[in-house]
């Protein structure tokens, strides 16, 4: 089956530190991969995505590269800000029943950035 394993949190960093949140996946076929971010009390926002091997998704200084050989999609940011404090979810997309794409999520990683 499909599954996503995400780095356990919480992660606490100081402002301007380097961020890595690890994500690995198990899937049949070639899924698309996503990172979503959830700010306190809110729904999920799409942060970035990659649809095929070696693709790099990027947005707001965050990056992740689809690595088929290691089945990974690690999230990185060179210099985090206090406003990046949130829960980050890694997810993969798979075709269910030949008709709808569904998402399988990791458990989420809470990031706290201190000034």
Partner 1 sequence: GAVVSQHPSWVICKSGTSVKIECRSLDFQATTMFWYRQFPKQSLMLMATSNEGSKATYEQGVEKDKFLINHASLTLSTLTVTSAHPEDSSFYICSVTGGRETQYFGPGTRLLVL
Binding site for partner 1 (CB under 8 A): 32, 34, 36, 41-46, 49, 51, 89, 93, 96-97, 99-103, 105-108, 110
Which residue, 7 or 110, is less far from partner 1 as judged by CB?
A: 110
Largest CA distance in the chain: 48
Least Cβ distance, residue 100 to partner 1 (angstroms): 5
Q: Which residue, 18 or 39, is less far from partner 1 as judged by CB?
A: 39
Q: Pick the closer one to partner 1 by CB: 78 or 102.
A: 102
The smaller minimum CB distance to partner 1, of residues 17 and 103, is found at 103
Q: How far is the CB of 101 from partner 1 (least distance, A)?
A: 4
User: How far apart are the C-alpha atoms of 1 and 21, rounded to whole Å?
Assistant: 23
CA 50 vs CA 10, 14, 37, 58, 60: distances in Å: 25, 28, 15, 9, 15
Task: Work out how close the CB of 46 gets to partner 1 at its nearest, in angstroms, rounded to a whole number.
Answer: 6
Task: Give me the least distance between CB of 81 and partner 1, in Å please.
Answer: 22
Nearest to 104 by CA among 25, 47, 43: 25
């Amino acid at each position: 089956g499909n599954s996503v394993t995400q780095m356990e949190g919480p992660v606490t960093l100081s402002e301007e530190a380097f961020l890595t949140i690890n994500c690995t996946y198990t899937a049949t076929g070639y899924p698309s991969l996503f990172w979503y971010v959830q700010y306190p009390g809110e729904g999920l926002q799409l942060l970035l995505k990659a649809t095929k091997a070696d693709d790099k998704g990027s947005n707001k200084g965050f990056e992740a590269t689809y690595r088929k050989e290691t089945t990974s999609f690690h999230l990185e940011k060179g210099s985090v800000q206090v406003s990046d404090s949130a829960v980050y979810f890694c997810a993969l997309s798979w075709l269910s029943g030949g008709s709808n794409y569904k998402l399988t999520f990791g458990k989420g990683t809470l990031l706290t950035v201190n000034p």
